[in-house]
Structure 1
Amino acid sequence: MDSSSEGMKSSGKHDSDMKLKYQGRKTSRANSEQRRRTILEAALRIVVRDGVRGVRHRAVAKEASVPLSATTYYFKDITDLITDTFTLFVEMGAQKFKAYWEESDSMLKMAMKELVPSDQASRQVFADRISDLAIEYVLIQLAEHRDYLIAERAFQQECLRNENLRPIAFSHQKFFLDSLKTFFAKIGSNHPDIDAELFGSIIIHVEYQGLIAGFEDETTVDRLRVMLKRQIELMLGVYS
C-alpha cells in the first residue's frame, strides 16, 4: 500500500524481483504463445469454479476449446499446468494491485501532507482517510475481482499439498507485503514489516468475510470498515 510516487517506484521493482518462471514448453511464435495463454486462462476459470483439483488436461482442453493434444504439448504433466496457472494468476494479480494503488496515489499523498504525527486529531483524520481507502480497495476486490479472491484461496490451500507452488506463493505474498511495508515506513512506523503483516492479515480476513457473508448488506460493510479502522488506529497509536 504505497503512499507516494517513491512507493510506486518500489512496487514496480517488486514485479521484477518476483522472477517468476513458467515451467511448461517455451514458445517463440505469437500464435503459439496466445494458445498457451488461452489454456492457462481456461485452467484458471476451472480453479475458480471447481478448485485446483478440478484442473485436468481433458477438462482444461474442453474449457479452452482446444484439442487435448494441445494441453499435453505445452504442459508435460498436470503439475506443470497447475504451476503455470498459478504463475499467470500471480502476474495478473500484481498488475491489478499496482494499477489500483497508482490510481490512489494522489489521495495518499494528500493525506500524508495533512498528517501531523504529534497531533492526535490529525492522526485520527489520517486513520479515517486510510480506513476509507482500505475499505474501498476491499469492496472493489469483492465486487470486481471476486474470482481472483476465490482463486487466491484455492491456490493457498493447494500450497499445503504441492510444494512446487510455495515459491510462487511466497513471491505473491512478498509483493503485497513489501507494498504495505513501504507505506508503513513512510508514515513513521517503528516496525513497518510487522505492521505490514498484521494489516495484510486483516485485509485477507476481511476479504474472506466478504466472500462468505456477501458485501451487499450495509451491516456487513460497516463491520468490515470498523475492523479495518480499528487496526489502523492501533498501528497509528490512535484510540477512540
Structure 2
Amino acid sequence: MLQPLTYIGRQASRSDGQARRKAILEATLKVIVAEGIRGVRHRAVATMAGVPLASTTYYFADIKELIHDALTYYAEKAMAANLALEQQSFAALGGFDATSLREPAVRRQLCDVLTGFICGHIKGQVADRDERILELAFNEEALRNPALADAIVRLDDAILSPVSGFFCQLGATESQAQAFALEVIALIRFLEFRNSVRSWMNEPECEAAVRSQLTRMLAQVAAMA
C-alpha cells in the first residue's frame, strides 16, 4: 500500500476546500508545464485554477510551499500509476519462471512479451509531453529541496522494487536482479527522453535497443537456473 507523501501547505478539512486545493495544485502543474518552475506565481496559478487569489495564499503561504506541494501531488499520482502498471505487468507475465527459461523458445517468447510491453509504455510516455516536462522539473527542483528529494527517492524505489522483484521471480540473485532493474529503467528513461525531445517515436530503434538488452539479461538468468 502506498504511504502518503508529506505536504507542507495548509490542509483542507471540508470536501469543497479539498477540491479547491486540488484544483490549485493541478493549476500549478499546468503553469510549470507552460512556463517552468520560475513561472509559478500566486496570481498566475489562481487565474489558471479559476479561483480567487486569496485561495492560493490561504493554502500556501509562499511560492515554495506551493511548488513543493504541487510536485508532491505529482509524485503521488506517478506512484499510483506505477503501481497500476506493476499489477498489469505481473499479471501478464505470471506464467514464466526460472525453470521454463532454460528453453530458448521460452526466453524468446518472454523477450517478445517484455519488449512489446516496454515499448508500448515508452510510446505512451512520449505521447504525454506534459508529464515528461513535469518529471524533469521535479528532478531539478529536488536538487534544491531536501523534502522533495525524499519524495523522489521514494518514487524511484517504487519503480525499482517491482522490476527487481520480477527478475528475482525468474531466478536471478537479489544483487543481479537489482542490477538488471537499474539497467532496464535507465534504458527506458533514455529512450523516453530521446524520443520526447524529437517529438516522435522511433519504434524500430526503441524495439531493437530493448530487445537486445532483455535478450542478454534473460540468457544470464537462464544460465543460473
Above 0.5 in TM-score? yes
The aligned length equals: 218
In structure 2, distance between residues paired with 1:194 and 1:102: 21
Q: Which residue of 1 aligns with 2:125?
A: 141
Alignment partner of 1:226 out of 208, 212, 223: 208
- Give the conservation status (yes or no) of the 8 Å contact 1:114–1:122: no
Q: The residue matched to 2:200 in structure 1 has which SS?
A: coil
Alignment partner of 1:195 out of 162, 180, 185: 180
User: 1:76-225, aligned counterparts within 5 Å?
Assistant: 76-110=61-95, 112=96, 116-143=100-127, 145-190=128-173, 191-216=176-201, 220-225=202-207
Unmatched runs of 5 consecutive residues or more in structure 2:
221-225
- Give the conservation status (yes or no) of the 8 Å contact 1:40–1:88: yes
- Please list the CA deviations of residues 138-197 of structure 1 after superposition, one character each: whole Å capped at 9, or x if unmatched: 112223x33222211111122223333211111111111112111111112221112111
Deviation (angstroms), 1:113:
6.0
Alpha carbon RMSD of aligned pairs, Å?
A: 1.9
Q: The residue matched to 2:102 in structure 1 has which SS?
A: coil
Among the aligned pairs, what percent are the same residue? 32
In structure 2, distance between residues paired with 1:115 and 1:156: 40
- Give the conservation status (yes or no) of the 8 Å contact 1:115–1:122: no
Deviation (angstroms), 1:25:
0.5
What is the TM-score when the length of structure 1 is the normalising length? 0.84
Unmatched runs of 5 consecutive residues or more in structure 1:
1-12
Large movers: runs of 4+ above 4 Å: none
- Give the conservation status (yes or no) of the 8 Å contact 1:52–1:155: no
